[in-house]
Amino acid sequence: MKKISRRSFLKTNLTAAVAAAAAGPLFTACSNAANVNRKTSLGSGKMKMSFRGVDLQLRHTFTISGFSRDVTPNIQVRLEYDGVVGYGEGGLPPYMTGQNVQTASEFLSKINLDQFSNPFLVEDILRYVDGIAPGMTCAKSAFDIALHDLIGKLVGQPCHRLFGYNPEKTPNTCYTIGIDTEEVVRQKTLEAAPYKILKVKLGVDEKTDKMLVNTVRSVSDKPMVVDANQGWKDKHLALDMICWLKEQGIMMVEQPMPKTVFDDMAWVTAHSPLPTFADESCQRLVDVPKLHGVFTGINLKLIKCSGLHEARQMIATAEALGMKVMIGCTTESSCAISAAAQIAPRMEYADLDGPLLITNDMFDGIKFIDGKITLNDRPGIGAELMTPWE
């Protein structure tokens, strides 16, 4: 008989248990709501989808470990059923390799919704969309958000209510300060006055990273988290930096080491005085069990995981494994950010400052009141398009 070590036995069974936990009915509340709401009697129509590429203009040139940019292209989706319209959006930052307005548009063009006469068949619809092509998670997320927005509007309820989340439990958003000169970092820190938590981008080299933290600290004693964006290549450097950051009052560290470095990262987490969160290492649901024991928690982003539906499975999986969960974003308007905010009540940290960093937000959505993510009672994702859809 083949011997199985205790470790591999636990690992196999834990993974199975986690998969079972994550496979629960996600839209039970929605289905129930559908039964009692007059507006939800199914129309005879089909879902009609359109989409467009939009350039979001950045307030400041944004630099993180690896590159800089002034504009972020986004893909936005409009989904109509029975005269009701849902909107969705996915940012297309350069690090989402191979995903741009052209490839996202090509992907969305392949979606044929004629086969679905019932928009509430979320599982079926999203499984079909996910199966059209691998990757393309930014476009998949834009579609997923539009579908959730549509369903919320059809039943007249905000998504967070359909999910059963307590809107009072949202965290404060972090405000991100990119890698820059001392003067600009100081100015950006002062601009962050309304926000209670600062997120500082690191991962250049030890000297620059310490300068960045010291510069922020010279003008602010607010709670701070840092994101090394895979910048520390050596485990001893990573741990030394984390110990130094602990002394500066930093609360957690995101993606200290390169995304595929697991053994060294597990060593860093085991010795780290601060919680570690996987960002680049964690893309979709399938990644979560692999990260157990490697990081303390995961950073969800809708553009990485294909949208709200899978994000909620990832939350259940991470929680079953005893891992923490945070949510992040890229440069996105109040459309995608309002969608992400619908699951914020389950988050330890939230980095949803996308709309604060752009000058052409075409949606009116969730607000940050004294830095706290504040959900509204609007149906769907809680965002309204303020300019004509062209």
Nearest approach in angstroms of CB 25 to Mg ion is: 31
149 or 254: CB nearest Mg ion: 254
254 or 264: CB nearest Mg ion: 254
76 or 281: CB nearest Mg ion: 281
Question: Sign (positive/negative) of CA torsion 226, 229, 231, 236?
Answer: positive
Q: Does 353 bind Mg ion (CB under 5 A)?
A: no
d(CA 293, CA 287): 12
| Residue range at the interface with Mg ion (CB under 5 A); choices 174-182, 240-248, 277-285, 371-379 | 277-285
Reduced to 3 states, what is the DSSP secondary structure of residue 4? coil
209 or 254: CB nearest Mg ion: 254
Nearest approach in angstroms of CB 316 to Mg ion is: 22
254 or 332: CB nearest Mg ion: 254
Closest by CA to 192, choosing from 208, 173, 212, is: 173
Q: Does 351 bind Mg ion (CB under 5 A)?
A: no
99 or 157: CB nearest Mg ion: 99
Which tokens is 354 given? 């996308």
Question: Taking CB positions, which residue lies at the least distance from Mg ion?
Answer: 279
- Find where tokens 């990644």 sit: 287
What H or E segment, with its residue span, contains residue 214?
helix 206-219
Q: Does 279 bind Mg ion (CB under 5 A)?
A: yes
Beta bridge partner(s), residue 72: 56
Nearest approach in angstroms of CB 107 to Mg ion is: 24
d(CA 289, CA 352): 25
Helices (H) and strands (E) in the chain, counts: 13, 15
| Residue range at the interface with Mg ion (CB under 5 A); choices 119-127, 250-258, 264-272, 371-379 | 250-258
| Residue range at the interface with Mg ion (CB under 5 A); choices 7-15, 48-56, 169-177, 220-228 | 220-228
Q: CA Rg, the chain, in Å? A: 21
Nearest approach in angstroms of CB 70 to Mg ion is: 20
Reduced to 3 states, what is the DSSP secondary structure of residue 277? strand
d(CA 31, CA 27): 6
Residues near Mg ion (CB under 5 A), total: 3
Pick from 180, 227, 353, 364: which binds Mg ion (CB under 5 A)? 227
Interface positions with Mg ion (CB under 5 A): 227, 254, 279
